[in-house]
Amino acid sequence: MKAIVYTEPNAVAVLERDMPALAPGEALLRIDASGICGSDLHAYHGHDPRRKPGLVLGHEFAGTVVASSDESRLAVGQRVTANPLVTCGHCDYCLQGRDNLCANRGMVGMSRPGALSEYLAIPIRCAIPIPDALASVSAALAEPAATALHAVNLTMRALARPLPEARVLVIGGGAIGMLAAALVRSYGCGEVQVAETNALRRASVARHLRCDAVDPLAGPLPESAFDVVIDAVGAGATRKLAIAAARPGGVVMHIGLQDWASEIDMRKLTLAELTLLGTYTYTMADLRATVAALERGSFGTLEWVETRALSDGPAAFADLAAGRVAAGKVVLIPETI
């Protein structure tokens, strides 16, 4: 089968790989659509020591079951997406329903071969059926959409007043930022601003999300002005911007992980009594809720998603790295589909 393989820093290639073996408790999927994540780009640049050359990348996907070790649980022909976090199922976090924090977790596209390929083997327990009305390209966004949903739901728990009353700033116009902005709009929030430095992406945000799109480099954003700030980038500069933009008593939700470390304004955090939250991915319950939300249209039409052939994967990575792509998400389609 063909797969997108990370070969060295700043390089991926379409290579032939053996078909995945069907292990007990697993199913074999024909991949119908798979997305390129920001963490895949992080690996592409050689910035993720957990993802080493020779790895098939990708963990956002939708596919069709072509073989199953247990058809009573997952039948051949079923369309599915799946949780790429392969958790143990028996630690305290898993038993609490907080499986995203499982200390024994593995991950598709990191500790096992990824989904930017023609076929993928996954544990049956990770699979989530796709409704007939939900297109595969949309279903492939369940993973980043669940990240946004998990983050927004955590944010709402920390707010003193309901989210529809809040003034919201989303930093970053990539997939997570756009999905988070679309979701808070669908939850009834009327004042949402997206800060994005890439002009192509700002135009996409303005066109598709009914949000103000601003360039944070063109001039300072108002300080202490937003009840909710969602940092979907996670760079040193965006962390500083997030704290500065939050109004007293507000909530800063930190999703992105572009930089591993940076300073934040602890004086502002303390004196303004801000709530600073971190979030990691999603739970299995979040993913199921997200598939239903995608079917309902809670994340909008997703017309801003760009599709390309799997064979165009290396060019897609290069274009994304160079900032030449307006779309917040590029989804690859195997030519066998």
Which CATH number characterizes residue 57's domain?
A: 3.90.180.10
Tokens at residue 332, please?
A: 């690859």
Q: Tell me which H or E stretch contains 148.
A: helix 142-158
With respect to residue 190, please indicate whether it lies within any of the assigned structural domains: yes
252 and 322 fall within a common domain: no
127 and 157 fall within a common domain: no
With respect to residue 284, please indicate whether it lies within any of the assigned structural domains: no
Query: Which pLDDT score is estimated for 336?
Result: 77
Using alpha carbons only, give the angle 307, 259, 173 rounded to the nearest 5 degrees.
Answer: 35
121 and 188 fall within a common domain: no
* pLDDT digit string, tens, across residues 152-200: 999 999 999 999 999 999 999 999 999 999 999 999 999 999 999 999 9
With respect to residue 17, please indicate whether it lies within any of the assigned structural domains: yes
268 and 170 fall within a common domain: yes
Q: How much of the chain, in percent, has pLDDT values that exceed 70?
A: 100
* pLDDT digit string, tens, across residues 216-262: 999 899 999 999 999 999 999 999 999 999 999 999 999 988 887 78
Dihedral sign from CA coordinates of 36, 34, 1, 39: positive
**Residue-number span of the structural domain to which 159 is assigned:** 145-278
Query: Which pLDDT score is estimated for 337?
Result: 63
166 and 125 fall within a common domain: no
**What's the mean pLDDT when you consider all of the chain?**
95
Give the integer Cα–Cα distance in Å for 304 and 325: 11
50 and 156 fall within a common domain: no
Query: Which pLDDT score is estimated for 170?
Result: 98
Give the integer Cα–Cα distance in Å for 220 and 226: 14
CATH assignment at residue 271: 3.40.50.720
Say whether pLDDT at 263 is over 90. Answer: no
137 and 149 fall within a common domain: no
243 and 312 fall within a common domain: no
Taking alpha carbons only, the member of 116, 114, 185, 115 closest to residue 148 is: 185
Q: How much of the chain, in percent, has pLDDT values that exceed 90?
A: 91
172 and 233 fall within a common domain: yes
Query: Which pLDDT score is estimated for 49?
Result: 86
43 and 103 fall within a common domain: yes
Number of domains in the chain: 2
Give the mean model confidence (pLDDT) for residues 135-150.
98
Yes or no: say if 125 and 287 are a contact pair by the CB < 8 Å rule: no
Taking alpha carbons only, the member of 154, 153, 88 closest to residue 126 is: 88
DSSP 279: -
Give the integer Cα–Cα distance in Å for 268 and 332: 43
With respect to residue 289, please indicate whether it lies within any of the assigned structural domains: no
22 and 99 fall within a common domain: yes
Give the integer Cα–Cα distance in Å for 47 and 15: 22
Query: Which pLDDT score is estimated for 168?
Result: 98
The residue type of 2 is K
* pTM, full prediction: 0.95
* pLDDT digit string, tens, across residues 277-295: 999 999 999 999 999 999 9
Taking alpha carbons only, the member of 196, 198, 197, 231 closest to residue 211 is: 196
Give the mean model confidence (pLDDT) for residues 25-40.
96
With respect to residue 297, please indicate whether it lies within any of the assigned structural domains: no
